[in-house]
Structure 1
């Protein structure tokens, strides 16, 4: 069995009177491609933010390589470096592509600008965006903006190799993209995992059928704040679990209530 690198135990989180996560246990293993699926509003993005250290749970514990995390990401350094790709790319529109991708290095390292620019160009080449460093996000397509956010997420500081990204978290990376652009992003996710070294493990939140099938090897299903089902992607079409059957078929009839 692969080594567990991130583990959530008894995680609960509420916003006002709405409990979005209710005593959830979850593991991410080294080399794993984990899909987190379920209806909208069931805490999938929230769980990514808790894993990333951007949000604290109301109760429960987060372990990174067996060490209990205390506080948020700005309060400590985890033993595993985690990068996150947000649903809307979350780029700074006033900065160029190069400045977006190299933002953390420009802000927090003593590297010369020429060195940072070289590192940025390497990452842009990895995501298929060579020659775009001087462009602004406003002139890019939705798929290109997503790829810029990928390049930013995998940026590391050569002066501190321990800061290299080891786990990537993707929040709806193909949302709003046409089928061809989605295929490009799905291929890129698989490509980054195949590269030897930093990006071998990831968790991805998605509703899109092709993304579920092409980018994951294990699935967990969240509904009403609880982890209702988990299994290999190969099991998803054969399970008799009513929630999975309804979700994957898009059927209006079933235990998942459809909002009016």
Structure 2
């Protein structure tokens, strides 16, 4: 499979008189998981929405394989986005969501026959636990026919077992696409990421170990 490259740079975003993102640059290739770590309110979700193209900003440059995209999400084979909040219709059954959300028969079969999902097919979305719902959402997004997937806080407020299962999903699907995920849970994020960036003070810092998180005051001194 040919390597594809997503680059985002010169990103500046402010609210009122305060910039929360300042001259951001990142690069993700297919076959890679890029983790963006940061406290709540530092701009992680804002950054992913800008890359996806659903949020306008004063300045940005989003390129996929060298081609500029003002709104990458309008090219359906390029990028998919998992929002922080649930996007599933609560009154539909899991089976109905699969039929509605996915167009490929192969993808529908893959999701429906997943060991975690199969027992849930006749359940309505509102009856799922937080972990079941998030796992299902991540699986749906990763089964869309896109080069890249953006996952906003996939580990937040779910049972530990499902955090492990979601990490397994991410690892297994990265062979076919590039994955950018954001979270404040540094343990799970760093565990599944090939490269980790910390969003702090409006910029991204490369993190290679726990000590740097202490140096940047993300973690308390040991």
TM bin, normalised by shorter chain, reads: 0.7 to 0.9
Match of 2:210 among 222, 237, 245: 237
TM-score normalised by L of structure 1: 0.74
Find the residue that maps to 1:146 and give its secondary structure. helix
Question: Which of the pair has more CA radius of gyration?
Answer: 1
Distance in 1 (CA, whole Å) between partners of 2:215 and 2:206 is: 13
Find the residue that maps to 2:96 and give its secondary structure. helix
The Cα offsets for residues 16-64 of structure 1, whole Å up to 9 and x where unpaired, read as 3332211111111221110101222111111111222222322121111
The Cα offsets for residues 159-208 of structure 1, whole Å up to 9 and x where unpaired, read as xxxxx1221211111101232332222222223325xxx3x320110111
1:158-237 to structure 2, matched below 5 A, reads 164-194=145-175, 198=176, 200-227=177-204, 229-231=205-207, 235-237=208-210
Q: Is the 8 A contact 1:121 1:130 kept in 2?
A: no
Residue number in structure 2 paired with 1:47: 47
Distance in 1 (CA, whole Å) between partners of 2:167 and 2:197 is: 19
Instruction: Give the C-alpha shift of residue 67 in structure 1.
Output: 0.3
Q: Is the 8 A contact 1:9 1:60 kept in 2?
A: yes
Find the residue that maps to 2:120 and give its secondary structure. coil
Residue 83 in structure 1 maps to residue 44 in structure 2: no
TM-score normalised by L of structure 2: 0.86
Q: CA RMSD in A?
A: 2.7
Distance in 1 (CA, whole Å) between partners of 2:67 and 2:128 is: 41
Distance in 2 (CA, whole Å) between partners of 1:13 and 1:148 is: 31
Distance in 2 (CA, whole Å) between partners of 1:71 and 1:201 is: 18
Distance in 1 (CA, whole Å) between partners of 2:115 and 2:156 is: 18
Against the structure 1 CA distance between its residues 56 and 5, is the aligned structure 2 distance closer, same or farther, given a 3 Å change threshold? Answer: farther
Instruction: Give the C-alpha shift of residue 218 in structure 1.
Output: 0.4
Against the structure 1 CA distance between its residues 169 and 180, is the aligned structure 2 distance closer, same or farther, given a 3 Å change threshold? Answer: same
* Structure number with higher relative contact order (C-alpha < 8 Å, ≥ 6 residues apart): 2
Q: Is the 8 A contact 2:8 2:61 kept in 1?
A: yes
Unaligned runs of 5+ residues in structure 2 are: none
Instruction: Give the C-alpha shift of residue 152 in structure 1.
Output: 2.2
> Which range moves more in the overlay, 13-22 or 168-177?
13-22
Unaligned runs of 5+ residues in structure 1 are: 110-114, 157-163, 254-260
